[in-house]
Amino acid sequence: MTDTKSRLIQATLSTLREEGLAAASARTIAARAGTNQALVFYHFGTVNELLEASSNHAVDESVGRYREAFAGAESLAELLDIGRELHDSERRNGNVALMAQLMSGAHQDPVLARASQYAMSAWTREITLVLDRVLTASPIADLIDTEGLAHIISAAFIGLELYDGVDPTGAARALDTLEGLTQLLDVVNRLGPVARRALRSELGTTTQRGPRHH
């Protein structure tokens, strides 16, 4: 990446985090980067494509910082611990505000929607790898689509990040409840072979019966 492109990306991220999407014009970003605004269009084509490149850069940096931690997670509780740390660091460095800005514009602009999808996909891939590893021997493994669960976790994480700005107490309570659920699943995963077979059999029977209709 050239020095000019790097400066434009950093200036874009600063603008989004501090002033919001409405302030992210070619003129404002170029002024922060100390360069001519024509270079925005020369290097990126459009302002929104610059926003996308900047968001993707920030996501890649964040995912890279936590990849080793994800790779070392051996339980759902450890995955949640990483999530809590991630929650705090992403809020401090302004990436929560960045994601909120992108999602606010995603409904009207396909480029911003693509940037939001990139962010979700990047985190979902990492979480799927953890779930595949920690749930392999679980008695509920056959009943769970780990990639689907990873999408749920990613969506819940983004939702909690945004919710935290409105109701920090409620967001903290939601995380505490999620921690209780992960502890329950970890207990299930540690069941002895007889109990595991019984649970697997019961879960299989429940699945075959299907949902109850009232």
Closest CA to 77 of 135, 124, 25, 33: 135
Query: pLDDT tens, 143-185?
Result: 678 888 888 888 877 777 677 767 778 877 877 777 777 776 6
Residue 191 has pLDDT above 70, yes or no: no
Q: How many CB atoms lie within 10 A of CB 51?
A: 27
What's the rounded Cα separation, in Å, for the pair 70 and 213? 40
**d(Cα 109, Cα 96) in Å, to the nearest integer?**
20
Pick the more confident residue, 139 or 172: 172
Q: How confident is the model at residue 80 (pLDDT cuts 50, 70, 90)?
A: confident
> Which has the closest alpha carbon to 5: 57, 82, 63?
57
Confidence class of residue 211 from pLDDT cuts 50, 70 and 90? very low
Q: 27 falls in which pLDDT band (50, 70, 90)?
A: very high
Read off φ and ψ for residue 44, nearest 5 degrees: -125, -15
Alpha-carbon distance of 145 to 1, in angstroms, equals 38
* Residue 53: pLDDT over 70: yes
Q: What average pLDDT does the segment 175-204 reach?
A: 66
Return the closest-CA partner of residue 93 out of 66, 67, 62, 118.
62
Q: Is residue 54's pLDDT more than 90?
A: yes
The confidence score (pLDDT) of residue 209 equals 47
Q: Alpha-carbon dihedral of residues 188, 157, 60, 128, nearest 10 degrees?
A: 30
Q: Which residue has the tokens 């990639």?
A: 147
pLDDT: is 110 or 134 the higher one? 110
Share of the chain above pLDDT 90, in %: 36
Q: How confident is the model at residue 213 (pLDDT cuts 50, 70, 90)?
A: very low
Banded model confidence at residue 85, pLDDT cuts 50, 70, 90: confident
199 versus 16: the higher-pLDDT residue is 16
**Arithmetic mean of pLDDT over the chain:** 82
Q: Is the pLDDT score of 197 beyond 70?
A: no
pLDDT at 55 > cutoff 90: yes
Question: Once rounded to an integer, what is the mean pLDDT over residues 2-17?
Answer: 94
Q: Mean pLDDT across the stretch 38-52?
A: 96
At residue 162's C-alpha, the angle toward residues 160 and 164, to 5°, is: 65
For the chain, list the domains and their CATH numbers.
1-45 (1.10.10.60), 52-209 (1.10.357)
